[in-house]
Amino acid sequence: MDDDIISYARKPTKFGRFKLSVKIVCRRIYKQLRKLVFSIVRRLGFRVEVEELYRSEDQYDRIRQKIELFSHLNRQGYDCCADVLVGMETERGIMLKQEEHLESLRLVVAMMKKHIHDKVLQGAALNTLCHILQRIATCKEMRNEILSVLLKGMEIHLDDRELTKLYCDSLAYFDIPQDVDDYNRLAFLFTSILQKHLPDKTIQKTMVFRLNTMASHSNENQKVLIGSLGVIELVLLLIGGKIETGDGDYLMETAWSFLWTITDNTPMNCEKFLRESGLSLFEDCYQKFYEKQEIVYNMMGVIGNLAEVEMLRCQLMKDELLTIFCELLSVGDLSMEISYNSAGVLAHLAADKALPWNQVLICRQRVMENIVKATWAWKLEARRFINYDTFQPLLKLLSETNAFGSRHWAVWGIAHLTTTYPKKYCQLLECEGGVQILEDLSDDENATGEIQELASIALNNIKTWVGKEN
């Protein structure tokens, strides 16, 4: 019984007791019960009517009409019909045709637009949407329309954690960010969701994965935009929390993968990573998860990006960090991947004449010898998880005559890439003027015999590729 009904019906007496008006209470209860019963009867009656359509020949068409009619009137009608429509396939085994699914999809999207602020309807519609998208392919125009509704709904219901999860689940049926025209809007929305619901593990996983995918399809300006929104700080905060709990899971791996991608050829983001104590987290994470090679591999990818930025290299010149880099020159199953990245970091540091090698305990000469030694264990023909957009960092190292280890690592990388992926990397090398540099290197008297041999291998790969192209 509602408190307001009781308070209304109670009459204080001069004796300090309350007089309860039974008549008033009964009248109010009767009105509320009548309203509730009528609502239940209408809905149950409608559901029975829809359920009966299962047995009719034009069952889909009539259900569609009922959904369209009642969804314009109230959300209960939509909810009821949508449940029955989904149940036709999931429970009754009645398979709808392609055009019937498309018609249902158009209807669901129309209802989501009409009732965009209705949380209950949005939740029901999203479940129906995912059910349909699992079964059909959509054209670009339809995908754009659906994404427009989804993004708007995500922005409106940003504070609703459960509804946000449903929206995120719906995005799994699209190519993000390729299917979205407004990259900036998407980046801001994903960042806002991660910031708003950072403690939620499901949203953590979804948003970091989405942001990592976005970063991998971004140019430098777009990466700078993502960095300016505060995503790097959020991901580092997430990593810090996982270090404390000792949770070296797939999310940790993806988080470092995102940082690797977002700092690639983007000095501004590299600087932001360092400014937010990224190197301290790197050390802590390595000490905690040094046996997790997938995590370490991505971590070294980030350090490799830092090492390519000349003005930032000095921050890597610490004995604690150099010791880690040297240790990783030879490790387990992913040894070539991790070892190659570690050797690359040391190669850039060893080639930089401005760095204070006399102020650290690690010997520069020994580092270069270990780089060369590490390459002996690598297979030139092995296919790897690697992607170069430019050879400029490697070509620059080839001119460092006083750093044999750095030159050796760089020319090995060029020989390897032109051997395993000639179509992509021979053309890239030719476009960036690398052929002439390699020819000069193969005749350089200051180069070691191994460096000259690797340069010749790369030149032969280019010659073979040119012959095939012609």
148-194 pLDDT tens trace: 999 999 999 999 999 999 999 999 999 999 999 899 999 999 999 99
Query: How far is residue 362 from each of residues 42, 173, 357, measured CA to CA in Å?
Result: 81, 51, 8
The neighbouring-strand residues paired with 20 are 10
Query: Do residues 193 and 158 lie in contact, with contact meaning Cβ atoms separated by under 8 Å?
Result: yes
Handedness of CA 316, 322, 324, 330 (dihedral sign): positive
Q: Give residue 323's pLDDT band: very low, low, confident or very high (50, 70, 90).
A: very high
Count CB neighbours of 83 within 10 A: 15
DSSP symbols for 42-81: HHHHHHHHHHHGGGSTTHHHHHHHHHHHHHHH-HHHHHHH
CA distance 399 to 455: 13
232-269 confidence digits (pLDDT tens): 999 999 999 999 999 999 999 999 999 999 999 999 99
User: In this structure, are strands 10-12 and 18-20 parallel, antiparallel, or unpaired?
Assistant: antiparallel
Collapsing DSSP to helix, strand or coil, 218 comes out as coil
pLDDT of residue 397: 95
In this structure, of 64-68, 97-101, 142-146, 204-208, the range with the lowest mean pLDDT score is: 64-68
Helices (H) and strands (E) in the chain, counts: 24, 2
276-319 confidence digits (pLDDT tens): 999 999 999 999 999 999 999 999 999 999 999 999 999 999 99
Q: At residue 8, does pLDDT exceed 50? A: no
Q: At residue 24, does pLDDT exceed 80? A: no
348-405 confidence digits (pLDDT tens): 999 998 899 999 999 999 999 999 999 998 989 888 777 888 999 999 999 998 999 9
Neighbouring residues of 91: CB distance < 8 A, sequence distance ≥ 6: none
CA 38 to chain centre: 49
pLDDT of residue 92: 43
pTM for this entry:
0.80
Q: At residue 49, does pLDDT exceed 50? A: no
pLDDT of residue 278: 96
pLDDT of residue 13: 46
Query: How far is residue 151 from each of residues 51, 136, 204, measured CA to CA in Å?
Result: 34, 21, 18
Based on the number of CB atoms within 10 Å of its own CB, is 4 exposed (0-12), middle (13-18) or buried (19 or more)? exposed
